[in-house]
Each structure stands twice: as structure tokens, then as C-alpha cells.
Structure 1
Amino acid sequence: MALTADEVAQRYPIHWLVWNNQHEELKKLLEANKYSTEDLEAKDPRGRTPLLLAVTLGHTDAVRALLDAGADVNCEKDGWTAVQEATATGDQELLSLVLSRRDYQRHVLRAGGIPDLLRRLSLAPDFYVEMKWEFTSWVPLVSRMCPFDTYKVYKRGGNVRVDTTLVGFENNRWQRGDRTYIFKGQGRSASLVELDHAAGTAWREALESEARPPPPRLVAARLAAPLAINYLDTDKICFERNKSGIWGWRQDKCESVNGYECKVFSANNVELVSKTRSEHLPRGRRPAPPRAPLAGLLALADAEPGVQPPEQEEPSTPQSSRSREDLSSVPVSWGDYFSGEQLDRDIGRPKLIETKVQKFKATLWLCEDYPLELQEQIMPILDLMAAISSPHFVKLKDFVQMQLPAGFPVKIEIPLFHVLNARITFGNIFATESPVPHIECIEEGDRLSCVIDDACFNIGSGYRDAAAPDDRLTCTDDEESLLQYAIQQSLMEAGTSDDQVDVWEALRGARPSPPPPALFAQHDPQLQRAIEASLASLALSPGSPPAPVGDEQGEGEGEAEGDADAELREALLLSAREHAARDRQLEAEQRALDEALRLSLLEK
């Protein structure tokens, strides 16, 4: 039933002002506290809050008034957040406004959630456990590139420490490192530090007291990249007990994992849905990422035959670039929008959405008498690691949050992509299998526990502060974007660490590189002479005699150094030949890998 203008203004007063872009009147009413928090977050018949409606329509002044009144930026519709809707408008000012307030509200929300997280950690018994990650693939030769890693998790009171060497997936290669994350609870507050042992740096969390506008390069990067969301659709999921034995004598399958008897289950009908939007990109300027062999395979392998076409096609009229002008006229009338009836199209710019669905099957090994509790002890750790560590933790967390059968998942195997599986195994609980420094295992009858020394959570000396204000602005989104790209194509979301005041994302910024060795060469005369000799030998033709080094030295000393220089030149030439041979071998392996990947795609 259609509503009159008075009825709409009475039922949805803030939405009505936003729809008509009456931002001055809206600002006065909000400053006079005419509306409650419930009114500010009320949803219209289409499921939008006043802020999300203002962002979708591109009404920047109305958005500013609502944000000043404390409207929640973390709102969404159909999975698309206010930040993503602001990006889709193509308006830099609007995106910068929403981004800065989103980052500020994230910090306030995390700071407010710290007491609850500390309470959950403090109530849970102390423990030490190792999580072994193994990556496997059925594609020929790809399995050779699949890494493995063991996360060592220490938990004592409100303190958590996680050691890892697998940083993430970047440029189609797995990145190694030597990192430690330390979360320390202090009263009702907490500190978070990331130690890079190789670079000797320490990243510390800093909570900003006010929202600051994001750097222009971050806004430009978002506007130049597609929008993407990934989520697990678990509506049809079902768990089935695996069977073993031959036909007629089959029974429930059980296996021993690290000394614990486990029941084996399979999770079927789990779907990973990936959506991409690109209506904000100028025509003909959508980035096409390089088709590296592994990236191409990962991008193509998850394409289902029934990929849905874009929901709305672009206007056929030619245009060099798209701007906010196409947002000024909204073909949907207020009567149609607030009626709640089905619409032929949505408000704002016509959406260009590509949807892909990846179906996969997971395997679980569940133990009912494992000495750890999933919800009390492991889930708080997964919450931390999903935010501050490698993005594959996000998938593990999402999967574990489903309604699993009874028991602790001692071992989990979940696909990351169509061709890549991740197998996570919990082991060395309480350091019972192999000793660990600062961990003492205590056995009281049938009950196991451990005592963790405070030294595990000390930062130690020799680490320099690596917090550079600008360098920490482009990581988390980039890492998530790389994961999405490996799943389907080059995408950016970008929470990615590109976000200025997000504590978890700020920890993953670029780190300063160590000083080049050449700065120290002058302090070592022998090394300096060796470098000069190698440069001189390269400048000579094969038949030319080597130039003397150190003409002012004595004749005997010169002969001795001449012999040393000859040996040095010979060593350099041998090293160059070995390097060239290694390059040729790598090129041959790469060609073989390209051919194998191409054949595997054809066979599939």
C-alpha cells in the first residue's frame, strides 16, 4: 500500500529529510536532540539506516550531520558496508568522511570490548598449544610450493603470545618471516605488540583520541579498485560421520591424532560466496592484474559454470569517465521506495555486481576428551589472530564458529581455494610431546595443566620502534585483497590495513628496511679492497691484465695482495657462473610449472 508524504515523514522522519537532502533542517534537529539513538539507527522498508541511505544517495552534507550526531558507520545492507557504498559513489570527499569516522568508531568499539576480552581470557585456564598448518594441492608441481608452519600459542591470565613464521600470501608467493604477537592485559586496558625478529623492530598499538582524515593515497586507491565481499553461506551445511571398512561391514571411522582418539566427520554443502562491484570505476580503466601462472589458476579454478551476470548493465551512452552527476537524478520515487514493494532497480548508481559461488567439503577430527575448550580457550585466540595475523585465520575462525558436532576439533581440513587445502592440527598441548622454554607441564592425576613464565611475554632489548605514521596505512586491506584475488581476481577491500587508525591493521604496515651493507664497507679496509678489485676485474676485458690495487704499498705486500686478488677474482667468476646456472634452472622449472598448470586446467 502506497504511503502519503505525511505518513512517510511521520514513520521515517530522518529518512525523509535525508531523501529530500534537507541537511540544514536535519542538522538543527539533531543538534537539538530531537531524535533518540533508536531513531538514528532505525531502518526503512529497504533495510537502510538514515546514514546508509544518505551515503547511497551521495548526500554528503546529510552524511556529515548524521556522523556528527553519532550515527553508526558500521551499518550494511546485503553485505555492503557504508564505506563500500561511499566508494561506489566515486566521491572522494564522501569516502574520506566516512572512512575517518569508521576508523574512529572501530577504535572506540575495540577499546570498549577489551574488558570483555580480558575477562574471557582471565577466566579460561592457562595453556600452551601448537597449531600446525599444512597446505596441500592436487595440482602437479603446485604442491611443491605449498608451505607449512606451526603457530605456538602461549596463554597466561590476560596475556597471549603467538609465534609464527608464515606471514601471508603475496605476489603469488608465500611470505616467510619470524614474528611474535604479544597481547598483554593490564587492568581494564591492553597493549598489543608485534615483534619482527629478523628486522629487529617492534610495532605497538596506539589508540587515537579523535578521528583523522585518511591520507589521499588511501582514498584514491579505494576509488581505483573494485569492491569485494566474501562470506560463508552455511544455510545448507550438514555434518556426516565418515565410514570405514568394506561394503556390508562399514562402521563409524575413528583415527588417532597426536595420541587422542578422534571421530571423523565431513561437512558438506558449505559455500563461499564472492561478490564484486565495479560501477565506480571509469569505463575502460578497470585494472587487469598480471596473469601469473599460480594466480591465473587460482582465479580461474573457482569460476563456476553458473556465474551470475551483472545485476545491472552500464548505460550504453558513451562517456569518458563516470562522476557524481549520474547520482543526482534518482529514478526511484519516494513513494515506490518507502512502499516496500519490489522494485525494478535500486537507488543510487546502477550496480555492476558479479557473483561467484565456490562449493567445498571440509573434514573434521573431533575428540570429546581433549584437555582444551574450544569456545573458552581457543576462540579468543582465533579472534586475535584473525585480526592481526595471516588472513587464512579468518577462514578458520568462520568455519569453527559454525555449529560443529560435539568434541574439540583436534584436526581440521578446509579448502582455501579450489586447488589449495589447509590442514590445521593441534598438538604438543601443555608441551607434553616436546619441551618448550619457560613452559612447565604439571600432571595431577588425569588432569594436565602447565605453568608459563612471565618471560614469555617480555619484549626484551634490542628492538627499535617501527611505528611510522604513514607506513602503516596500506596493509590490512592489501592482505585481504590478495586473498580475495587468489580466490577470484584482483580485488581490494580494504580493510586492509590501509586504514589509519585501525589498531589491528596498523600492525601490518611496511617496515623500514635495514641499512644497506655498503654503509659499513668503509669500516672494513679488506672488504673495501675486495669490492674495488671485483669492480676493476669486471671493467677489464678477458685478456687484459688486472689493474693493481694499492699502488702505494710495498713490493712484497703488493705481490701477496696480487695473489689474494687473483683468488678473489676467480671466486667471483665462479660465483657468477653458479648464479647464472641457478637462474637457468629456475627458468626451466618455471616453464615446466607453467606447462603443468596449463595442462591441469585443460584436463579439468
Structure 2
Amino acid sequence: MSNTNCNEEENTFPLHECVFGGDVRKLSSLLRSNDVTLKDKHGNTALHLAVMLGRKDCIQLLLAHGAPVKVKNLAGWSPLAEAISYGDRQTISSLVRKLKQQAREQMEQRRPDLIRALEQIQDFYMELKWDFHSWVPLVSRILPSDVCKIYKCGSRIRLDTTLVDFTDMKWERGDLSFIFQGDRPTCESLTVLDNKAKVYQRVRYEETENEIEDEVDILMSSDILAAQMSTKGILFSRAQSGWIFREDRKETVAGIYKSDVYTITGLVLESRKRREHLSTDDLQKNKAIIESWTRGNTQNLDTNGEPVRRASLNPPPESSVDWNTYISSPPGEYPSLGRELVYKESSRNFRATLAMSDDFPLSVDMLLNVLEVIAPFKHFAKLRQFIAMKLPKGFPVKIDIPILPTVTAKITFQSFEFRDNNPPHLFVVPEEFVEDPLRFPDL
């Protein structure tokens, strides 16, 4: 931290300045002794700048030295977002590949600790009830609900759910089981079962070339999106009950867990959208194309049966901004280095409630480890993100959290018991199931 502050005071960011000048040889030399992950006063890494300025050789050199692809600047944009804006297909492909590689490496580093943590938790059975509701009239009537059953045995976890996916007010129902086998090799450890179709799919960690290029097509054809739950101004206050004599509200959840109820204010869902890389024609055509892609259908084919790929855009005009102008600008307010932004921002404040209990037998840390395993289900990833916040004392037995701008989920831990007799067959793929590697395109 002190290193960063020192650099900010002196405005010396040698990698960043070198990228501005496009000096690849000097950059190569500097990378031996400088931190490739360092952010400047605007939150940009050297990779951010290389992408925005179209310095292709610098981009490849920085990626080869492990420059992070997922990191965001003060405006909330990653190098990949800036690459989509710039529109060079080769650069976007390189960043997507590196992003996936870095995600795999991080998961592999975390995996031994996660397995150890799971093995130390006593075996259990747990039920989570999900109820989705909306402030939009009539929408709540059509939203789904689900009771998820979670079994844990050693380093193995099974999740049964009827809610396959929930994205943008669309959901898919089914009868799914998600099995994590911590004692198996990584490539075999995650499996999703479709119990109705009697098929299963291993969750793969490496995509084929075609899958990578399909993803690049989608990125180049759709809005650049950034959505995050801002918790900077979050406040937890005891909920009150009673009209005249006010007192702290208490509740018994699931008829078992005595809880203190809190009101949460200051939750802000910030959504940002960019589309400077899209033409009017793109916007008219792309909705149907993207819906087709997300259903697993291949896009347009040429006469040889090969997919027709999106071509690179013409690059934006060469930036006339020099290094001194850039680095002396107020934080986050530097002049545009690429295309002029076509930008829309929206935010919505949420008020939520939270019931915390000292009676629940699982700890928050234990729950976070379990949720990390089942995070490929998007709504569980949101739940994990929420629980990772600094919560009041106890265990969150009932939570209201925003899932989408118009939809909130109420999650209730309605059943829990430590159990040493979870049947072993629950944690393996049944013999009669057939492998279908394309059953779940998003996994």
C-alpha cells in the first residue's frame, strides 16, 4: 500500500509511461523489476492503457508477464471491457483466453485450502428456500420459488434444485443435481445432473477454440455491461416493532432459530452500459442473434459450414493525449484515450432485512466455503457475495437481497441437521446416466 502511495505522489509509473510511448523493448526490460499489477491514480493498470491505446505488442508482452485481466479501474471497467470498445478481435480473443487461464490458476491455488476446510466441517443436510419478488406490479406473481437441498459428506457436496438458471427475468425450471467431489481430479470434480433427461455434464475448465471465438462474437455484438452492488454507505440497524412502545424486533425463523432482525440501508445497485462499439444496424440485429447463441445454436455459417465471425472494427483515431496530461488529470477524469463513450448509468437504492441468529449450528465461514463450491449457479454466487460482507453478529438465517434491478430474493435457512449417514450414492453419477457435454452451455 505504501508503495502505491509513494508512486502516486511522484506520478512515476514506469510501465504505464512506457506503454504510452509504445517502447516495447524498454517495456520488456522494465517488466523484470516492476509490478505488472500496479494501478495508477486512475485505477488503470499498464494493460488497461495498452488496450485503450491499441498497443498490440505491449498487450501481448504484458499478458505474457501475467498482467491481470479481471481488474477494474476507478470507473469500473476492465481491460477486456476497453478491448471490446476498441474493437480489435485478436486483442479481445487474447484477453478472453488469459482471463480464463487466470481464473483456472486462481481456482487451483484455492482448491487445497477449500478441500481442507470442507473436510473439517461435520457432515450435514440443509435446506434453503428461495422466494423471488419484485416491486414491479404483477411481476411477483410469475416469479419462481425453490427449495434447495444441500448434502455434505467429507469433501463432497450435493445440491438439489429445481431452478436451473435465472437471468434477466427469464428462468429455466428442471430437476437438477450439482455434485462436487473434492477427492477427484479437478477436471472430474464438478458435475451437473439433469435427473429428468438422465444425462450429466462435467463442468469443464478449458474451452475449445470455437467456444472462445463464439464468446468473442457475443462480446463484440452486445453492450459492455458493468453491474455491482455498492456497499460504501451500507448501514445495519435493529428493526423496530410496536406502535407506541417501540422495541427491537425479534423473530423465530423456521420455527427454530431465535433471531435479531436488522434493516439494511445504503445498498445501491449500480448498472452501467456502453455501446460505442455498436452501430445502429448492430443494435437491431444483435438481439435475435444473441438469443440464438445463448440457446446453444451456431450463428451464421459460410459456404464451407464454418461460422461467420465478427470482423475487427476500424480503430479509433490515434490519441493525442500525452503522458503528462494523462497522469496529471484528477483521479478518474483523464481525457478519452479511445472511442468516445456512448454511456448510460443507472442506480437503484435497496432497503433489505436480515435475521441473524446465534442458534444456527453452522458458521458464516463454513457457509462461504460451501457456497464457493456451488457458485456456478449464478444466484448462489450473488448470495455468497452478500454473505461475504461484514454482517452483524450471528448467522444470517433469513436474507432479502437484490438479484436483478427489479427482483429481490428472500432466502430462508429452513432446515439444518448434522448427519453422519448421508448415503454415498448421492455423491456419484448414477450408472444409467449418459454424458451430454452440451446440456448446459453456460457451464
**Which structure has greater helix proportion?**
1
Aligned to 2:435: 465
Q: Is the 8 A contact 1:99 1:214 kept in 2?
A: no
Aligned to 2:39: 43
Give the aligned residue type for 1:20.
G
Q: Distance in 1 between matches of 2:382 and 2:98?
A: 27
Secondary structure in structure 1 of the residue aligned to 2:17: helix
Aligned to 1:380: 369
Give the aligned residue type for 1:14.
L
| Offset at residue 418 of structure 1 (A) | 5.9
Runs of 4+ in structure 1 deviating by more than 6 angstroms, as ranges, are: none
Q: Distance in 1 between matches of 2:312 and 2:430?
A: 54
Q: Distance in 2 between matches of 1:95 and 1:415?
A: 31
Highest relative contact order (Cα 8 Å, sep 6+), 1 or 2?
2
Closer, same or farther in 2 for the Cα pair 1:143/1:76, shift >3 Å?
Answer: closer
**Which structure has greater strand proportion?**
2
What does 1:152-167 correspond to in 2, within 5 Å?
Answer: 152-167=149-164
1:286 is aligned, of 275, 283, 287, to 283
> Is 1:17 aligned to residue 21 of structure 2?
no
Q: Distance in 2 between matches of 1:75 and 1:331?
A: 26
Gaps of 5+ in 2: 1-9, 288-310
Q: Deviations over 1:128-181 (max 9, x none)?
A: 100011123455543331221111111122111111011123684431011111
Q: Is the 8 A contact 1:266 1:364 kept in 2?
A: yes
| Offset at residue 102 of structure 1 (A) | 1.4
Aligned to 1:252: 248
Aligned to 2:235: 238
Aligned to 2:386: 399
Closer, same or farther in 2 for the Cα pair 1:287/1:385, shift >3 Å?
Answer: farther
Secondary structure in structure 1 of the residue aligned to 2:413: strand
| Offset at residue 463 of structure 1 (A) | 1.4
Q: Deviations over 1:365-385 (max 9, x none)?
A: 22112111121x211122233
User: How many pairs are equivalent?
Assistant: 408
Secondary structure in structure 1 of the residue aligned to 2:279: coil
Give the aligned residue type for 1:62.
C
Give the aligned residue type for 1:403.
K
Give the aligned residue type for 1:451.
N
Aligned to 1:602: none
Closer, same or farther in 2 for the Cα pair 1:263/1:455, shift >3 Å?
Answer: same
Q: Distance in 2 between matches of 1:152 and 1:204?
A: 20
What does 1:172-571 correspond to in 2, within 5 Å?
Answer: 172-186=169-183, 191-208=189-206, 215-247=212-244, 249-258=245-254, 259-283=256-280, 285-287=282-284, 323-327=313-317, 329-339=318-328, 341=330, 343=333, 345-375=335-365, 377-386=366-375, 388-389=376-377, 391-417=378-404, 419-430=406-417, 449-468=419-438, 475=441, 497=442, 507=443
Q: Distance in 1 between matches of 2:140 and 2:14?
A: 59
2:55 is aligned, of 55, 59, 73, to 59
Q: Distance in 2 between matches of 1:200 and 1:140?
A: 38
Which of structures 1 and 2 has the bigger CA Rg?
1
Secondary structure in structure 2 of the residue aligned to 1:275: strand
RMSD: 2.9
Q: Is the 8 A contact 2:86 2:316 kept in 1?
A: no
Q: Is the 8 A contact 1:97 1:213 kept in 2?
A: no
Q: Is the 8 A contact 2:326 2:334 kept in 1?
A: no
Gaps of 5+ in 1: 1-8, 291-320, 431-447, 476-496, 498-506, 508-604
Closer, same or farther in 2 for the Cα pair 1:137/1:81, shift >3 Å?
Answer: closer
2:165 is aligned, of 155, 168, 171, to 168
TM-score normalised over the length of structure 2: 0.83
Q: Is the 8 A contact 1:413 1:421 kept in 2?
A: yes
Q: Is the 8 A contact 1:18 1:53 kept in 2?
A: yes
Q: Is the 8 A contact 2:269 2:405 kept in 1?
A: no
> Identity rate of aligned residues, in percent?
33
Q: Is the 8 A contact 2:326 2:335 kept in 1?
A: no
| Offset at residue 25 of structure 1 (A) | 5.2
Farther off after superposition, 139-148 or 280-289 = 280-289
